[in-house]
Structures are given as structure tokens and as C-alpha cells.
Structure 1
Amino acid sequence: MQQNNGLDKNQLISFMLFSALMLGAMFYFQSREEAKAPAPVEQTASTQGAAPTMGPQASNSGASPVKVAKLENNELRLEFSSLGGQISRVELPGYKAYNQAQDEANLPLYLIDNGSASYGFEFKDRAGRLIRTKDLNFQPTVQGNTLTMTTQVQGATIQFIYTLLDKYTVDFKVRTSGLGQVSSSSAADFKWDYKVRAVEKGRSQEQTHSEFSYAFDNYSSYDYDGRTGMDETEETLNWIGVKQQFFSSIIESKTGFVGSKGNQEIVEEGEYLKTLNYSGQVAMSANELNQDFSWYFLPLDLKLLKSFDKNFDEILPLGWSFIGTMNRWFFMPLYNWISSWGITAGWAIFLLTIIVKLILSPIMFKQHKLSAMMRVIRPEIDEVNEKYKDADAMKRQQATMEVYRKAGVNQMAGCLPALLQIPIFYALFRFFPNFIDLRGESFWFAKDLTAYDDLIKLPFHIPFLGEHLSVFAIACTAAILIYTMLTAGNIQQPTAPGMPNMKVLMYIFPITFLFFLNTSASGLSWYYFVSNAINIVIILVIKYLILDEKKIHAQIQANKAQPKKEGKFQKRMREMMEQAQKQQALQQEQLKKTQGKKK
């Protein structure tokens, strides 16, 4: 099962550099039918019982007049066009879209508007001519929360019946009569063209999260496609959707779509982010197109998505395997529990960070104790390096490991906390920009914790940074630099010629992190600022109040005096080094013999 990688180009480059540096440092030491009415009308209905209203609507470039019908409830406000009998506007009144001009989320949130999406069915008549429902004019009739669109084509009747339901759902039935006399097709093509409207603050982040998503194998399997082309001709899709960062438009077929293909293109600027085009087929029985569908225009709220039992919850890119499980069963419930206390989102993240730190505190304490012990034996390590500076690297490493063994220092114990931080980082990287409960939540100078803060605006563009500097990202970078300064003394510098200075690499890492965080969710930067600030406090407390380096030195000396049982890992490493030394000696001996024969 795949998941959206969630990275834009700049973040991807920064993240690759960040991962390479982190892993390197750790182990070195992501047609038209005329209308019957003479004048255009507008029809409106509400599921709450409002009476239909009529009004004029502009004609379609001098052609048959276009009528607009409306259905509305507390969750959706929909408009339907008589041209094509299709949904022409979708508004979610419970949410607002970002207004770039005012730097506020105060605009109506339209998933579809001004012709940004169109759909319809296509089939051929018996003369081989293509009939497209997008081109036909329908007559709308509203009754309660149901809208019926009716049209005639070559004597056949086509009806689109829409019923607005709860939970952001629109029941969509297609009924035909007499179509078998017009068409000989056994299947109809369904075409859906969709332009993703920009409704969030971070354009590149929202653009990256916009893609096809779909389920198959009777709703049990899910996949997505953020690439240029989509080809699922071998599968029967239960539903196909266009996913955005926090919302999705989905159409479900009760019999399934076959022969599915699609393509998408990035739009570099303007009100649209991407254009997506989908084509699939639905069956026609006895040459009639009688099919049941459902439209869903959903906020990507995990609880809501799971309530449908159609694998919609997989649309939310929380991460694969263990990463997604950590978000679903730990970070989301923990945040919801904290926020139920009535505190703001920023302080909820602050408390969440502290709780995570408390859970990891036993392991972190061992790591900091190990750092103190390594600082104490640093002079002995330097002495070994000096003693074996002219020897081969393997002998020098073997002697160094012997010092650690006698002192009772397990170097691998320091890797465990770092390894634990990797899945936590990935989980949080998915959590903050995709958790809809944080959408629009402000904290200090960050107006939306799911997007970057841009308090510092730049008059020019900096590659990989953009035209702003995130204050939270800068604060986080500064905290990581201070933490690095406090721990860099424990880094062993390779003595072999040409090897990079590990301490320099450790200082480069925080700078790389700035490029990565500057366009990321400000909630993520705030979390890691708090996390690293706590790390700094812990180091200072342990160094000056808890651990006595003189006592540690005395303990190490006592460890040396006692016979030391060799651990399995140390034994394996020693045996590998001894075997490598034997192999090296054998190769040198064979080389000498070969050279002697040549002479």
C-alpha cells in the first residue's frame, strides 16, 4: 500500500541532504437539445425545507439558455448546470479558503467553481456519431432535496437524478429510456476533467498533496498516483477521487469503473495547482445506461473517512506501516485528548512534546550518561589514536574498541535513541501538514500551523528557501545548533588522511534543516524547537546537577580493574576484525610472493 511522499521539490532535495548527513554521521561513527422554456430560470432547493426560487441566468454564448439549480444543507452548497446536467459548484460552508491578498483564511471554500471541473458520459449512436452528455441541455426539476435533470437525444430520454444526503454525500443515479434504439454500445465512457483550486497557504505543499486516489478489489485495496500518467486498465475501480491537502472529490460507481486511465499536469501559477483528466468505462445493460453512483466532497477528517467503510481513510497520507499506525493510534488521539482541555493548538503541541519526551526519558537519560562517559575517556581515546597513528586503521579501531570495552561503554547504546527519533520524525512530518484539526489554527505569528509562517518576508527569492524566512524554522535551527555545540565534543574525528571532519558535518546538518523546515508546517518546526530546547535543558541538568564526571571516571577505572565479560556484539566485531586482519596479512604475503617470482 502506497502513500503520498508529501515532499515538494525543494523539500525533497533538502530532505535527501538531511537524511544523508544524519545517516552518514550515525553509521559512520525521503447535439445540443433545445430547452423547452422560453426564458432562463434558476432553481434552488434546500434539504432543510426552503422553497425553490426562480431567477434569470445568463445564456451560454448566445446558445440555449443555461439554467442553474441549487441544493444545500449544513455541509454542502451545490449548484448544477443545465448544460451537461452536471455539478458546477461545490462549496463547503464549514471551512474557509486562504486569501493570499489579505493573508487570511476568509474566502468561501469552493472545491469546484467557474468551470474548474466537468464530467459526463460518452457513447456512439448507431451511425457511429459520438454523443456526449456534457454537450446536452437538461431541464432541471427540484423536489425537496432531490434534483432531476432530464434531456432528450434522438428520441431517447436521459435523466440524472441527484439527491443531497448527509455526510457530504450526493446520491447520483443515471436513468435512460429508449437509448437502446439510439446506441449499440455495451459500455459508456466516463470522462472527468478537474482543475485543483488553491485553497491553502502553502502552494508547493498543497500542490504536492494533489493527486489521483482510488480503491479496487471490492474496496479492500487502495492506491494513489501523483505522477504524470495513471494506468489502471487491469483493475475495476470502486471509486476514483481527486485528493487535495485537506479535501477530496470522489465519485463511486456501484458496478465499478474499468479501463481507467488518467493524466495530470502541474500549473505553475494562478488559482489552479494541477489539472487532472480521468477516463474510465461503465457498463450498459441492453444498451441502456442505468447506473448508480455517489459523489463525495469530503474534508479529510479521519473519523469521518473511516465511517464510510469504503477505504476512504487511506486517502489521508499519514505514512506507511508503523509510521501511519503511530499517527493513527498515538499522535492523533494524544493531541485530541490534550486539546479537549480547552487550550490552544500551539500549547497542545507544546504539551504533546513534553509527554513524548517523558516517554522517551529513560532511553534519553542513558544516551546522555553515555555521552558523559565518552567525554571522560576522551583522553584515553586520543592516546590510542596517537599510539597507532602510523598503524593500519583496523588495528587502531581494534585498540579503540578495547578501551570502550574495558571502560564498560557500549557505543551502540548511543545509536538507539537516534534510531527511535527517525520513525517519530517521519510520523510527525506526516502528522502536522495533514491533520485537519490543526488547519487554520494560529499560534503567535504562525497563522496556520499546517503551513509555514512567513513573518519575515524577503524582497527576493532564495533557492530552496523561497521569499520568506520562517521564525519557527529559524528558532528550531538555533536550538539544534546549540544542542550540537553541547554534544559535538563526543564526536570522534577520523584520523585517516582525506577523511571529512565529522564535527563540521554536524554543524552543517542544522543549516540543512533550516532549508527543509522553512516551507514545512510551522507546527512541525514548533514541535522540534520545543523538543531540542528540552534536550538542551536535560544536558545542562545532567551535566551540572545529576552526573558527577569524577565519579564516572572512578567507575570506569573500577570497571577496568574487573574482568570484563565480552558481549555478543563486541565478540562478533572482534572476530570480524581478526578475520579481516588475517585476510589482509594473507593477501600481503601472496603479493610479496608474486612480486618475488617476477623478479
Structure 2
Amino acid sequence: MDRKGWFGLSLCVIGLFAWQWYVITHYGPPHAPKAEQTTNPNPEAGLKLPSTVSEGTASEGIGEIEPGEALPNSTNLPPEETAVLENSELKVILTSWGGAIRSIELKNQRAHGDEPLVLNRFSREPVLNVTGWEERSALAAYRCSQEGKEVVFARTLVNGVELRRRYRLNSEYEIRLDQQWANPAPREVTLPRWRLLVGVGEPIHRQDPPGSIAANWLSAQGKLGRISLPDFGSAGFLGFQWRSPRSLIDSPKESMRWVAVKSQFYATILLPPGTLPPDRLICVSEPLLDFPRGGKGQPPSGLKAWASFPDIVLPPGSSLATTYTVFAGPKEYSLLKSLGSETDRILDYGFWGWIVKPLIWCMVHLHQILPNYGVVIIVFTLGIKAVFWPLQSKANRHMKEMQALSPRVKELQAQYKEQPEKMQAELMKLYREFGVNPVGGCLPVAVQVPIFIGFYTMLQSAVELRHQSFLWIHDLTRPDTVATLPVIGLDINPLPLIMVGTQIILARMSSPAAENPQTRMMQWMPVFFLAFFYNFAAALPLYWTVNNIVSMAQTYWNLRKPVPTLHRVKKQKASGLSLRK
């Protein structure tokens, strides 16, 4: 490779690292204002709601809330009453402040060590809190009663409408809300546009990728929408900024089949009734001030989302009953698929879903036989290599054929050194003459690329691998850190180093004659991958390392065979009837 090529490669590497720095500095957690770090005993203090424009006839006393504006204190709420609904998977704490869900503990999932995993842990507003019907009020007091395995909240709105909210657990991860409005007045009452809090997408670790914190919705037409945490940051490149940071993002106005907030491995999904679906999702980003202070920098941010519903018209003496289902749990494909309404699309596999779903199916079913997911990944990798073994052997044979033609190739390169187009034409003629395919060795790599990308995509939300240990790896969804250098704070992750080392050995085995500078560069190209995969989930370098080791063994076996003697391919005679005049 000439000087220009090395210069271009250097610019690319510098650009990649500069882009990583840009993403970290521009899409990292925003700095929390110091004034907001003080704890306020009033549950409504600091609680922020976005504004929505009420359509139709508004009830008396309805005020508009400005975007991101802190709500003023209303009348003091009575003492809080709480109730608990519990099954084998969930422990749901409900509060009379909002008549909604204060927190959801996933009993069989862990956050750190033995600490239970709690959804909506850092939010001051309860899930399914309803707002928009009272003047600048974030939380309202409800009467609370428990009827067997159900909890009932009730209150009277300012316009006289009776609102009852009945909660119960449907199944392992499902919460059901039966909501009823009753208009006892002899006149028609219109309830203006209102909101339900879907929840807050919160990271578990500070290092969780910000792009995994997002809100999704599925429109009635089957279109999947997404708003992620990085969308709130500014947008630009090389100092040119074309979008300032945003405090609020709302979706296009369209009827929605479900709405959700999610983190890397967990989700809260609201499935509304088909007769009264939301038509907008409103999202804000806010610092999680109560997030544990371990680590460096400011607390991470979460994404809070409200589902916005249209007006409700209640004729005199009428009532309206609706049912909402909330799924709160891990993003396991089988669980989401069983919910229906295409909720499994929250996994957001995109184009690679056709390869990711079979991979998940294979991994889960292998785990029913093999108790450890690390062993499952190894067996899975060996199975893939067994399928592609003949193809890889054929590619290695092509490599030996290219080695046999190497002297002739060097002669042509020397003969047509000043005529690159002529040299390429003569090289192709030489390959055709001896029946050698110069790209035959690339086919196995090209075939395995979709599997690698699918595996990478699957790991973005593979909750099945959380807290699964293997050898020195404590969690297959986290880096395999064994120590941290005290001075510079650099984590020592052995598996990515082993992966790169085996990749370099394999590259040198595949092209032992490294006289060409481009060949030497390709042999050391895996070192550049280290910057991208060093802090990635340990499952991916484990898969790649096992794949490299098996490929090394196969390449060594194939290269032991002698260099084949090439013969010219016989030209095919033209067949057919000759026409005579």
C-alpha cells in the first residue's frame, strides 16, 4: 500500500475514534441542575408533565401546562395509602396518590448482586397515573380499598364524573386495569384530552447504551415507531450543528395499538382497548437523580413517556368502561409473542429479524439440554462450523490454488507494472486459463456475516443471558472484566484480547506470504476491532473466539496438504448445426 493509502487509513481510524468521542460527549447523560438535586417531601414537587392541546369542549378549570414546566404545589394530599398485588413473578405496589402503580418488582430478576430489579424505581410519578382533567394537577388523591385479589381506587372529578380504577394481576407479568367513568349528572360532560403515564425507561448500569433506552409504539396500520434517548441530544458533525438539544419529543398523531418504554433488557408495555386507543406518545428525558452514585460523572438519564388519548364524551346518566393491560417484564421473545398484537416487534430487530429469531430459538432450546449458556454458545458455534465445514475446506483449496499460481502472478505484475489495466486483464485471463476463482475464499466469510450480525443484534436485548456465568465471566451480557488498572481506570477484559490474538493468527495462517503491504495490513486489521468490541458483551467475543479456534484447526489441516498441480482448462468446443448457404 502506497503513502496515500496509509494516509487514508490513518484518517479513517482517527475519524472512527473521533466519532466515538463525539457520541459520548454529545449523547451522554445531561448534567443535572443542582437545584433539582434536593429532595422535596411533597410528591408533586419537581414532577413535570408535557403540555397537550385539548381538543373539543374543555371542562371548567382545565389549564394548559407548558412543556417541561414544574407544577406548582396544589392542596396538600392526605396520607398515602398503599396496596400490594403479588404473584410468582411480580410484586406490584399501588398508591392512592394517583390511584396508580408506584413500582413493579420483578421477583426473579436481579439488578446488581442480590438486589431485586424494580421498574419505575426512580420516577416520582406512578405508572398509569392519569392527568389532564384538573387544573395543573399532577397527582390526585383516591379512595383505596382492597377486594380480595383486586385493589380499587375511586375519586370524583371536578365536573362530577365518578372515576373507578380496579387493578388485578392477569398472569405472570401482566397487570390489568379496569377503568370506569360514570356521569350521574343530567347533562352531557366532555372530558378533554388526557394522558396515562406508560412508565420510565431506566438503565440498570451506568454503562448501558443510551440507544437501548427508548419508547416504541405500533400504529393501527402496523408501522413501528421509536423515540430513543439519543434523539434528545443535539445533532451535528465536525462542529456544524443542525439541531439543538430537545426537551420534549412527541410522535405523529395516529391511532396506536400499543405503546411502551424499554431499557436494554426490560419493557413496560401498555395495551389499550381497541375502542379507545391513544393517538400520540409524548416523551421527555430527565436525569435519574436518585440513581446510585457509584461511578463517575452525572447520573444517567431516563426516558419518560405518556400515552395521550382523545376526548371522552359522556351522555347524561351514562358510563364508560375500558380495560388496559400492562406487561412489565423481561424482553423474552416467547413472552412478548404470547401477548399478541405484534408486541414482539418491540425487540426491534429490523432487517435482521429473519436470522435473529432462529438464533434465539436455537439458543433457548439448546439451553434446555445444556444448563450453562456459555457451553450453549460453544456448542452452537461448533454446529455452525460443522455446517460450513465443506464450504470452508473448498475455500482453503482455492487458497492453495492461488498459492500455486503465485509465481505466474508475480511475473505478470512485474511485466505490466506500468499498465495496471492490462495487468488486471492478464490476471483474469490467467485465472480462467487454469480454472481458479480468485474470490473463492471469500464465500464462507460472506455466508457467515449475516450470522455474526444476527448474533450481535440478538445480544442487544438477550435477557436470557443476563447473570449467566461461564469460567471467569460473571455475566455474558457484560464485559468479562477481571481487574481495573488503578492509575488510568482501564478495565482488563481478557476475552476480547484472546479474540483479537486468535484472529491475527488465523489471518497469518491464511496468507503466510506477507510480502504485499496490503496483506500485512489485513493481517493486523483485527487490532482495530479491539476498540469497538473491548467493552462489549462477553457472549460475542466468546462466539468469535471459538469460531477462530475451529477455523485455525481446519486451516492447519487443509494447509498440510501439498500444493496442487494446476492444469489448463480445456476449452469447450462450440456445438450446434452449421448453416450452409
Residue pair 1:176, 1:290 contacting (<8 A) in 2 also: yes
Report the CA distance between 1:15 and its aligned residue: 13
Residue pair 1:452, 1:522 contacting (<8 A) in 2 also: yes
Q: Which residue of 424, 447, 452 maps to 2:479? A: 452
**Gap regions ≥5 residues in structure 1:** 1-9, 18-59, 99-104, 494-500, 567-599
Report the CA distance between 1:284 and its aligned residue: 0.9
So what's the TM-score if we normalise by structure 2? Answer: 0.75
Tell me the residue number matched to 1:326.
Answer: 355
Tell me the residue number matched to 1:482.
Answer: 505
Tell me the residue number matched to 2:313.
Answer: 285
Report the CA distance between 1:283 and its aligned residue: 3.8
Equivalent position SS for 1:285:
strand
Distance 1:84 1:13, change over 3 A: farther
Q: Which residue of 177, 180, 186 maps to 2:182? A: 177
Distance 1:271 1:297, change over 3 A: farther
Tell me the residue number matched to 2:225.
Answer: 223
Q: Which residue of 106, 114, 129 maps to 1:106? A: 114
State the Cα deviation string for residues 37-75 of structure 1 (Å, max 9, x = none): xxxxxxxxxxxxxxxxxxxxxxx9975211111111112
Measured in 1, the distance between the counterparts of 2:98 and 2:167 equals 13
Tell me the residue number matched to 1:573.
Answer: none
1:210 partner letter: I
Report the CA distance between 1:116 and its aligned residue: 4.8
1:407 partner letter: F
1:106 partner letter: D
Residue pair 1:233, 1:261 contacting (<8 A) in 2 also: no
1:442 partner letter: S
Q: Which residue of 84, 87, 92 maps to 1:73? A: 87
Task: Write out aligned runs for 1:412-451 (5 A).
Answer: 412-451=439-478
Residue pair 1:116, 1:196 contacting (<8 A) in 2 also: no
Distance 1:79 1:265, change over 3 A: closer
Measured in 2, the distance between the counterparts of 1:529 and 1:180 equals 72
Task: Write out aligned runs for 1:43-54 (5 A).
Answer: none
Between stretches 107-116 and 162-171, larger displacement belongs to 107-116
Report the CA distance between 1:419 and its aligned residue: 1.5
Tell me the residue number matched to 2:155.
Answer: 151
Residue pair 2:413, 2:423 contacting (<8 A) in 1 also: yes
Q: Which residue of 329, 341, 365 maps to 1:310? A: 341
Report the CA distance between 1:362 and its aligned residue: 1.6
Between stretches 258-267 and 87-96, larger displacement belongs to 258-267
Measured in 1, the distance between the counterparts of 2:269 and 2:523 equals 47
2:211 partner letter: T
Q: Which residue of 131, 134, 145 maps to 1:141? A: 145
Residue pair 1:439, 1:449 contacting (<8 A) in 2 also: yes
State the Cα deviation string for residues 537-573 of structure 1 (Å, max 9, x = none): 11111111xx211xx1x2x1x226x43789xxxxxxx
Tell me the residue number matched to 1:101.
Answer: none
Task: Write out aligned runs for 1:47-446 (5 A).
Answer: 63-98=77-112, 105-113=113-121, 115-118=123-126, 119-124=128-133, 130=135, 132=137, 134-154=138-158, 155-178=160-183, 184-192=189-197, 194-200=199-205, 203-217=206-220, 220-226=222-228, 227-228=231-232, 230-254=249-273, 255-264=276-285, 272-286=300-314, 290-317=321-348, 319-321=349-351, 323-329=352-358, 331-390=359-418, 392-446=419-473
2:111 partner letter: A
Measured in 1, the distance between the counterparts of 2:254 and 2:305 equals 18
Distance 1:14 1:530, change over 3 A: farther
Percent pairwise identity: 19
Distance 1:234 1:63, change over 3 A: closer
Residue pair 1:123, 1:185 contacting (<8 A) in 2 also: no
Measured in 2, the distance between the counterparts of 1:548 and 1:383 equals 23
Equivalent position SS for 2:279:
strand
Report the CA distance between 1:113 and its aligned residue: 2.4
Measured in 2, the distance between the counterparts of 1:564 and 1:204 equals 63
Measured in 1, the distance between the counterparts of 2:494 and 2:525 equals 18
Task: Write out aligned runs for 1:495-514 (5 A).
Answer: 501-514=517-530
Between stretches 60-69 and 274-283, larger displacement belongs to 60-69
1:471 partner letter: P
1:502 partner letter: Q
Equivalent position SS for 1:477:
helix
Distance 1:282 1:565, change over 3 A: farther
Measured in 2, the distance between the counterparts of 1:401 and 1:472 equals 41
Report the CA distance between 1:208 and its aligned residue: 2.5
Distance 1:243 1:468, change over 3 A: same
Tell me the residue number matched to 2:549.
Answer: 533
1:533 partner letter: I
So what's the TM-score if we normalise by structure 1? Answer: 0.73
1:166 partner letter: S
Tell me the residue number matched to 1:519.
Answer: 535
1:121 partner letter: V
Report the CA distance between 1:482 and its aligned residue: 0.5
Report the CA distance between 1:360 and its aligned residue: 0.8
Equivalent position SS for 2:323:
strand
Measured in 1, the distance between the counterparts of 2:327 and 2:257 equals 13
Tell me the residue number matched to 1:53.
Answer: none
Residue pair 2:190, 2:311 contacting (<8 A) in 1 also: no
Residue pair 2:83, 2:95 contacting (<8 A) in 1 also: yes
Residue pair 1:213, 1:240 contacting (<8 A) in 2 also: yes
Report the CA distance between 1:185 and its aligned residue: 3.5
Residue pair 1:88, 1:114 contacting (<8 A) in 2 also: no
Judging by fraction of residues, say which structure has more helix. Answer: 1
Report the CA distance between 1:307 and its aligned residue: 0.9
Larger radius of gyration: 1
Report the CA distance between 1:167 and its aligned residue: 3.2
Residue pair 2:201, 2:267 contacting (<8 A) in 1 also: no
Distance 1:143 1:272, change over 3 A: farther
1:310 partner letter: S
1:356 partner letter: I
Distance 1:182 1:139, change over 3 A: farther
Distance 1:490 1:174, change over 3 A: farther
Distance 1:115 1:412, change over 3 A: closer
Equivalent position SS for 2:555:
helix
Residue pair 1:258, 1:280 contacting (<8 A) in 2 also: yes
Report the CA distance between 1:296 and its aligned residue: 1.4
Residue pair 1:488, 1:503 contacting (<8 A) in 2 also: yes
Measured in 1, the distance between the counterparts of 2:184 and 2:448 equals 62
Measured in 1, the distance between the counterparts of 2:308 and 2:199 equals 14
State the Cα deviation string for residues 349-386 of structure 1 (Å, max 9, x = none): 11111100011112111111111111121111111110
Residue pair 1:96, 1:108 contacting (<8 A) in 2 also: yes
Measured in 2, the distance between the counterparts of 1:403 and 1:443 equals 51
Residue pair 1:149, 1:159 contacting (<8 A) in 2 also: yes
Residue pair 1:210, 1:274 contacting (<8 A) in 2 also: yes
Residue pair 1:210, 1:243 contacting (<8 A) in 2 also: yes
State the Cα deviation string for residues 281-326 of structure 1 (Å, max 9, x = none): 2441327774322221021111111111121111124x333x3122
1:225 partner letter: I
Measured in 2, the distance between the counterparts of 1:425 and 1:87 equals 40
Aligned residues: 477
Give me the CA root mean square deviation: 3.1
Residue pair 2:213, 2:303 contacting (<8 A) in 1 also: no
Residue pair 1:453, 1:522 contacting (<8 A) in 2 also: yes
1:120 partner letter: N
**Gap regions ≥5 residues in structure 2:** 1-12, 21-73, 233-247, 289-295, 575-581
